[in-house]
Amino acid sequence: MRSRRQNILERLEATQGDVHAQAAVMADFLLSAFPENQRDVLRDSLDAAGVLHWFDSGLLQHVLDISTEDARSRFETLKTLNFVESYGRSRSGLYNVHEATRLGWRKLLAKEASVRFRRLSFRAAACFADDRSPAGRVEWSYHLLCGDPDAGATALEALSREWGDSARPEDRYALATALEELGAAGLIAGRARAWTLLFIAWTRRSRGDTARLTDAAAEALKLATETGDAMAEADAQCLLGDVLQAQGQLAAAKDAYGQSLAICRRVAEQDPSNAGWQRGLALAWLRLARLDVAAGRHGTALALYENSFRIQTALGDRTERNAQWAQDNEVVQSELAWCRSQVSGPE
């Protein structure tokens, strides 16, 4: 029979070059040193702690669906492990699994026990479902994409439109970073990956990286087409248009914007009550107007601006006028007024 030492050496050799996988192997090796009647409970507890970015006894209780007393006992034991550390401020009462170990354990769990991974992730998402703070939205989206990828994709689409360009940059960056983690680990596919790519790309675009987003736009477009997600396809075409415009390919950009507009019009007509889709249509008109302005076609641009403004005004009349609407409306009004002045000339 092989010794524990031989076993660990073989597993480390098999995962050579993957720091996360090796950290997970070492964590499993350390757990194997506990008495046999404790190992399964510890691994079970680490499954939940590894799914979560941070944990306390309350989160363990909800994610594992166990009693308060059992959760407290498991929490105290986890705190003694050398790959578990205090999270954030020392008095927060929260702990987390060390980053390399957490990522390695998550990937291992998703690979070897995918149903359990989805179930724990779904319960983790439920813990943050009612938390409307930016940090709460980040955690909810992150876990829902793993627990129920299709629902997570729909939620991320809605959140992306809700935040738009009005959310604080640090909140968008925090969510983009969390989503990049899921992508790097290979834990999402299909619609979930399409919307994840789009959110990350729009965040990078806000930092001036537009011209380098060709691959992201192309992959998102491919996934959106394959999964039949019309609005993801429209968003991907819009992103592609921005990329092409930044690269100076104006004719190709106009074609991409035109395809985005056609999809937005079709979808918005199917469900006029969907404010997010109506906003997407208004922005599609706006991008085409800006492209015509860049080409000096102010007369053509004016009609496009007016289409955008009409939709934006109607949107404000029948929905709650939030910060994103106010920002969109101000931009459209300002550019429309300027374009009118160029068409009419000085008085």
User: What's the per-residue H, E or C state across 185-234?
Assistant: CCCCCHHHHHHHHHHHHHHHHCCCCHHHCHHHHHHHHHHHHHHCCHHHHH
- Compute the distance between CA of residue 192 and CA of residue 118 in angstroms, rounded to an integer: 14
Q: Which residues contact 149 (CB under 8 A, 6 or more apart)?
A: 188, 189, 190, 191, 192
- Compute the distance between CA of residue 105 and CA of residue 145 in angstroms, rounded to an integer: 18
pLDDT by residue (tens digit) across 119-166?
Answer: 999 999 999 999 999 999 999 999 999 999 999 999 999 999 888 877
Instruction: Tell me if 25 sits within 8 A of 12, measured CB to CB.
Output: yes
- Compute the distance between CA of residue 274 and CA of residue 329 in angstroms, rounded to an integer: 18
**3-class secondary-structure state, position 97:** strand
Higher pLDDT, 332 or 88: 332
CATH topology of domain 1-114: Arc Repressor Mutant, subunit A (1.10.10)
Burial 134-148 (b: 16+ CB within 10 A, else e): eeebbbbbbbbbbbb
DSSP for residue 319 = S
Rg (CA), the chain: 24
Q: Does an H or E element contain 96, and which?
A: strand 95-97
Q: What is the largest CA-CA distance in the chain?
A: 95
Average pLDDT, integer, range 172-179:
96
pLDDT by residue (tens digit) across 232-288?
Answer: 999 999 999 999 999 999 999 999 999 999 999 999 888 888 888 888 899 899 999
DSSP for residue 259 = H
- Compute the distance between CA of residue 199 and CA of residue 235 in angstroms, rounded to an integer: 10
CA distances from 17 to 13, 14, 20, 182, 183 (A): 9, 9, 9, 19, 19
Name the pTM for this structure. Answer: 0.88
Between 56-60, 148-152, 204-208, 312-316, the lowest mean confidence (pLDDT) is in 312-316
Inform me whether the pLDDT recorded for 24 exceeds 80.
Answer: yes
Q: Which residues pair with 84 in a beta bridge?
A: 97
| 178, two tokens | 């969390």
Average pLDDT of the residues of the chain:
91
Inform me whether the pLDDT recorded for 75 exceeds 90.
Answer: yes
pLDDT band (50, 70, 90) for residue 347: very low
Q: Under CATH, to which class is 281-342 assigned?
A: mainly alpha
Q: Where are the domains of the chain?
A: 1-114, 281-342
* Residue at token pair 């990828």: 149
Torsion 9-13-17-18 (CA) sign? negative
- Compute the distance between CA of residue 322 and CA of residue 325 in angstroms, rounded to an integer: 5
pLDDT by residue (tens digit) across 289-322?
Answer: 999 998 899 999 999 999 999 998 888 766 666 6
- Compute the distance between CA of residue 30 and CA of residue 15 in angstroms, rounded to an integer: 17
Inform me whether the pLDDT recorded for 1 exceeds 60.
Answer: no
